[in-house]
Amino acid sequence: MYKAFFFFFLVCMIQFQVVAQKDTSHFSRIFNTFKPYRIYLPADYGKSDVKYPVIYFFHGNKGSHKLALENVQQLVNKYRLILVAWNGRSAPDDERPYNTGYHSNIKYREQFKDYFPELVHHIDSAYHTIPDRSHRGVMGHSMGGFMSFFLAGKYPHLVGAAVNMKGSSEFFLGYPENHTLYLVKYMFMNFSGVKLRFHNSTVDELVYLNTEVYHGALREKGLDMDYRVYPGGHGYTYAEFKDAFLFIDSVFHHPNPPPLRWHHADLYPNFEIWGYQVNSTLHEPGFIELHGVTKGGMSIGTKKWQPDGLPVNGINISIKTPAIYNPNSTYRIFDFNPLSNSERITVAKSDEKGSIRFSVSNASSQIGIWDNRTPAEPVFLRYRVNGNSAFLDHKKECNLSVQLLNRGGTASGKLRVQLSSSTNDVMIANPVLDYQSVPSAGFSQTPAAFRVTFNGSPPADGSPPGVKFNLSVTDDKGNRWEDEFDTPVLYDVPVFDNIGIDDGDSEIFGSGNGNNVAEPGETIMIYQGSHRTRLFFDDPYIDNERLYDELQPDKWGDGYALSSLIHISKDCPPGHRIKFLACYEVKEWRSIKRNVTWGVFTITVGETKP
């Protein structure tokens, strides 16, 4: 009797373990092999037709799908959801996951951005899940924390919650022959509709870099993010894992709805986001950027880097919208190029489902999509400081003029524009201005300027510099529109007085005649003493810039130092003076802490002395 009972008990336990937690695999079309994963199923799984939310967990460096943490099953049982721990290794013998990092770490064409939706489809097909974004969350630690935020930002239409537990702050992503630096601190515009949680620690090697990330998050108006600091180092405890788990579970009960207006920057040439299909000819490092996307239109552009990179020219971009328009109907596509102040209006017909296709070839376009009933839609077009500058003067009241474009199909009424800022230490003496009516496809007449003073200090680390402004526009009928823009600040900092110019003499960086003089047609790197500098400028005779990246010192492969290589146009007149704001960083090896020094200087084209 005892033996029979013991055998029955043992069989039940084995069956429970098979149902509750198992290591299994599925065939991946992306990797052309079987990919393993570990899945935790709640204790009542299979006893009814109940469907469950799903959390995906992403491991860190040297990890795998075999989540080495006790009591996970108890969490899954109590909160009645499914947990999937994936395997982030491109090849079974890789210790470094996700095919990301510095240039030498990117070895494979297979991309985890393609594998994630494939795995989601497999889990939703093979298990009893609730297959929507409101019941799907991601969480990860270290490199997995980076991937959690990256994938949630790339697929906000698939993911409703994301937790980054002490994740890496910046990595290159993409293909071996073409990859782009993804700096988390500048990518929070991608998270419209997603609830976030970000964990930092007190003595982790990534503490300082992730403080920079947090400062980047603070700039984004409307970002739904919870920030926590945990005592200790880079690892994580069951208690921290549980906190992340419970956060996602709470979002399942109170998800954010899909946004009515959103932004997205993507480093891949082709992507899908919120039902929009985007295809482009981008075949070099850079971003395709959609800004202020609504049913009425969007801004489309390219950037070599985020947030302030120059445009990537010569890129064709085609868009297919979701089925949000009247089927088989005629629409006009208004395409305004703010770089040339030119416009064109073409005709497009929606398909039988209500999708519209159109293309742009400008490095920057404001798009309006009209029919006979399309209302006005005023959007931010451009700003100037004191009439002619892109820079705010530090600690001085500046006149900030803002011009609007009405990309909508009808004229606006009179508009009231309110200016605010999510950046600390910004004072706006007259935060509300009245604008006259703006015709369809027309510009606003700029009224008296906003009077703005910024008293903040330049960041001593790699936190985002400059000021982020937010616009709230209302008309006399109660309609409301939102927009935002960034401005650099010409900080009141010491003069860099030990300037050197590399115009090809190093045979590594600049290109020119190598006489250490900035001359028309040359590409130069500028040094302060022995330090390569990152440059900020507003000069028409600098017609190109690229960034040089390095890891000095390199402890974990985190925290890239960036310096500028600028090209002086061939038609720059000798004697022309160019003023720069500049900085350089010295990074501490043990703490991976950036110490940034700021300065200003002026060079004269064609002269030996700066």
CATH number at residue 205: 3.40.50.1820
In this predicted structure, the answer to whether residue 1 has a pLDDT above a threshold of 70 is no
Q: Which long-range contacts (CB under 8 A, 24 or more apart) does 514-518 make?
A: 516/608, 517/606, 517/607, 517/608, 518/568, 518/578, 518/603, 518/604, 518/605, 518/606
**pLDDT, tens digit, 9 for 90 and up, residues 209-265:** 999 999 999 999 999 999 999 999 999 999 999 999 999 999 999 999 999 999 999
342: domain CATH number is 2.60.40
Cα–Cα dist 588/594, whole Å: 7
Residue 479 lies in a domain: yes
Of the listed ranges 10-24, 70-84, 329-343, 344-358, the one predicted with least confidence: 10-24
Answer with the residue of higher pLDDT: 533 or 6. Answer: 533
Which pLDDT band, with edges at 50, 70 and 90, does 5 fall under?
very low
Does residue 11 fall inside a structural domain?
A: no
DSSP class of residue 258 equals P
Please tell me the least confidently modeled range out of 46-50, 289-293, 385-389: 46-50
Distance from C-alpha of 509 to C-alpha of 500, rounded to nearest angstrom: 13
pLDDT beyond 50 at 126: yes
Cα 45 from Cα 128, distance rounded (Å): 8
Residue 302 domain flag: yes
Task: Determine, yes or no, domain membership for 212.
Answer: yes
Average pLDDT, integer, range 399-426: 97
421/557 same-domain check: no
Q: What is the mean pLDDT of residues 270-282?
A: 98
Output the pLDDT for position 507: 86
Whether the per-residue pLDDT at 137 is higher than 80: the answer is yes
The per-residue b/e assignment along 380-390, b for 16 or more CB within 10 angstroms, e otherwise, is: bbebbbeeeeb
Do residues 162 and 197 lie in contact, with contact meaning Cβ atoms separated by under 8 Å? yes
* Percentage above 90 pLDDT, the chain: 92
Whether the per-residue pLDDT at 450 is higher than 80: the answer is: yes
Q: Would you say residue 52 lies in a domain?
A: yes
For residues 48-63, average pLDDT: 96
Are 475 and 458 found together in one domain?
yes
Residue 591 scores a pLDDT above 90: no
Question: Are residues 482 and 555 both part of a single domain?
Answer: no
**Percent of the chain having pLDDT more than 70?**
97
Structure token pair of residue 65: 């799908």
Count up the domains in the chain and report the number. 4
State residue 266 phi and psi, 5-degree precision: -130, 135
Residues 123 and 142 in one domain: yes
Residue 9 belongs to some domain of the structure: no
Query: Both tokens of residue 237?
Result: 């405890």
Q: Hey, what amino acid is at 185?
A: K
Check whether 12 has a pLDDT greater than 70.
no
Co-location of 231 and 277 in the same domain: no
Q: How confident is the model at residue 78 (pLDDT cuts 50, 70, 90)?
A: very high
Sequence-distant (6+) residues with CB within 8 A of 106 are 99, 100, 172, 173, 174, 175, 176, 179
Q: Tell me which residue range forms the domain holding 229.
A: 18-253
Mean of pLDDT values over 583-610: 91
| Contact (Cβ atoms closer than 8 angstroms) between residue 233 and residue 280 | no
The verdict on residue 577 lying in a domain is yes
Please state, rounded to an integer, the average pLDDT across all residues of the chain: 94
- pLDDT score at 19: 54
Amino acid (1-letter code) at residue 150: F
Which tens digit of pLDDT belongs to each residue from 292-330? 999 999 999 999 999 999 999 999 999 999 999 999 999
Considering the domain boundaries, does residue 7 fall inside one?
no
Residues 578, 602 contacting (CB under 8 angstroms): yes
The mean per-residue pLDDT over the stretch 575-599 comes to: 95
Q: Are residues 343 and 230 in the same domain?
A: no
Q: Are residues 249 and 296 in the same domain?
A: no
